[in-house]
């Protein structure tokens, strides 16, 4: 689980941050 989280969490965070940026640009 630790290895999986280490691999997946950064990608989820990156996607979330990108979604926030795109939403900010669209607004």
Using DSSP's 3-state secondary structure scheme, residue 1 falls into coil
Banded model confidence at residue 22, pLDDT cuts 50, 70, 90: very high
What whole-number distance in Å separates Cα of residue 21 and Cα of residue 4? 26
**pLDDT at res. 26:** 87
What whole-number distance in Å separates Cα of residue 11 and Cα of residue 17? 10
Average pLDDT score over the chain: 91
**pLDDT at res. 4:** 87
What's the first-to-final CA gap in the chain, in angstroms? 37
State what percent of residues in the chain have pLDDT above 70.
96
Question: Which run of H or of E encompasses 13?
Answer: helix 2-26
Q: Compute the average pLDDT of residues 6-18.
A: 95
Q: Compute the average pLDDT of residues 5-21.
A: 94
């Amino acid at each position: 689980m630790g290895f999986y989280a280490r691999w997946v969490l950064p990608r989820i965070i990156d996607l979330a941050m990108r979604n926030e940026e795109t939403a900010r640009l669209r607004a």
